[in-house]
Amino acid sequence: MAGENMFIRPKDRETLRTLAIQVAEIASLPVQKEKIALWKKLNSLKKVRPLVWITEVPWQEMNVNDELTLSTETDFLQSVEMQLRVALYQWRHIKGDMVYEPKFYSWTEFKKFNDFGMTERTESLQGDGLCSRHYIPQIKTMDDILKIHTPDVEVDDIATEQNYEVLCSLFGDILSVEKYGIGCLWFAPWDMLVTWWGVTELFYDLILKPDLVHAAIDRLVSAWIERQEQCKKLNLLSLSNGNFRIGSGGPGFIDELPAPGFDGACVRTVDQWGCSTSQIFSEVSPAMHEEFALRYEKKWLNQFGLTYYGCCEPLHNKISLLRTIPNLRKISVSPKADKAKSAEEIGTDYVISLKPNPAVLATNSWDPVKAREILRDELNKTKGCIVEIVMKDISTVRHQPHRLWEWSEIAMDLAEEFA
């Protein structure tokens, strides 16, 4: 948070205003409206060329010419500075079909939000950041499940307002500062539950203790829904039909949301995008996926106007199952998915959220020719479908930023080729 009566050094103010002016200039370019129109068409299942979205970048490896070097003094100002510098960096080097608007969002601060009663316990951690880990099982009996409870939602009104006022005072005359609450929440109950259960232990219990598994996922999903009800009562929901990432895919620009009856003031879940994923069920059969995951996830998904399903798990054998989600619009086709089968099963009924394998950026030597061949092959297999290309989960570029720069150019070239 910004802090009460925060003093901002003149040099910090000038730094942030200079960056904001540059972002505003980019946002004013006609191409931004053109990109928005393309995303609206794609999300509405209208035929457009593949659109390119690049996210989850290893920014610690990307700095060149001090483009990402921070100079402001406090944590809050540095977080603002980083957002602005990242936006400018992406425009210069890896813009893809990213959209820039003359806005800066001031997010709601919470005192309480994420306490579901349990937290992961791990051992044998290896490495820093992304690393392997062993989860210590905490769920073994029905009594253990009772530890899962609905979080209390409490907004930090003072911090929320202070941050907003500071942002307005910094560059509100340059960028429109807008308050934002809860848009498209990342809903992955099994990603959470497996960390309390243990991976091996869970897979055994799907067979040996199915009643225990059903009770646990039902209780956790109910807690998520009950927390969402608190958010609705507190009028914390915000529209997600704009420049906001949806699920593990691209932005949510679409004219179909908000839903009919929206009063312009109180956002309902039916006015928003929703999403879900069960990545730990990657190799679980469709029948078991439906029994232990999707039937519960649909209780969450059914609240929303439109939804996105999936992340890193291959779903090519489960498309018929996903078709039972009535408001589904986009399906993740991960690096491990069978692209041809996915395209055959999905057709033009949903957006294919195509995830190229980021490992192409992490090889000992960068091979742009090979990278082009791989992506062209995937686009050939999904030709005729409605496709967004989402490069994500980029853990490393081997400290060679130009790899991602060049991949971005390759992706845009191929997107035009497959128009």
CA 393/CA 378 separation, integer angstroms: 18
**Cβ contacts of residue 193 below 8 Å, gap of 6+?**
139, 202, 216, 217, 220
CA 123/CA 135 separation, integer angstroms: 7
CA 251/CA 108 separation, integer angstroms: 20
The single-letter DSSP state of residue 353 is E
At residue 390's C-alpha, the angle toward residues 107 and 277, to 5°, is: 70
CA 130/CA 303 separation, integer angstroms: 33
Question: Can you state the angle between helices 10-27 and 75-93, rounded to 10 degrees?
Answer: 30
Instruction: Let me know: does 318 contact 283? Beta carbons within 8 Å.
Output: no
Q: Helix or strand or coil: residue 354?
A: strand
Instruction: Let me know: does 177 contact 23? Beta carbons within 8 Å.
Output: no
CATH numeric code, 33-71+137-158+182-417: 3.20.20.210
CA 131/CA 77 separation, integer angstroms: 30
CA 286/CA 308 separation, integer angstroms: 18
Locate the domains of the chain by residue range: 33-71+137-158+182-417
CA 214/CA 280 separation, integer angstroms: 16
The single-letter DSSP state of residue 61 is G
pLDDT at 241: 98
Q: Copy the structure tokens of residue 289.
A: 């996926």
CA 26/CA 55 separation, integer angstroms: 19
CA 203/CA 338 separation, integer angstroms: 24
Instruction: Let me know: does 91 contact 405? Beta carbons within 8 Å.
Output: no
DSSP string, 177-212: EEEE-B-S----HHHHHHHHH-HHHHHHHHHH-HHH
The pLDDT profile of the chain, 419 residues, written as one tens digit per residue, is 555 457 899 999 999 999 999 999 999 999 999 999 999 999 999 999 999 999 999 999 999 999 999 999 999 999 999 999 999 999 999 999 999 999 999 999 999 999 999 999 987 666 555 667 789 999 999 999 999 999 999 999 999 999 999 999 999 999 999 999 999 999 999 999 999 999 999 999 999 999 999 999 999 999 999 999 999 999 999 999 999 999 999 999 999 999 999 999 999 999 999 999 999 999 999 999 999 999 999 999 999 999 999 999 999 999 999 999 999 999 999 999 999 999 999 999 999 999 999 999 999 999 999 999 999 999 999 999 999 999 999 999 999 999 999 999 999 999 999 99
User: Phi/psi at 105 (nearest 5 deg)?
Assistant: -95, 135
The single-letter DSSP state of residue 369 is H
Q: Copy the structure tokens of residue 270.
A: 């039916």
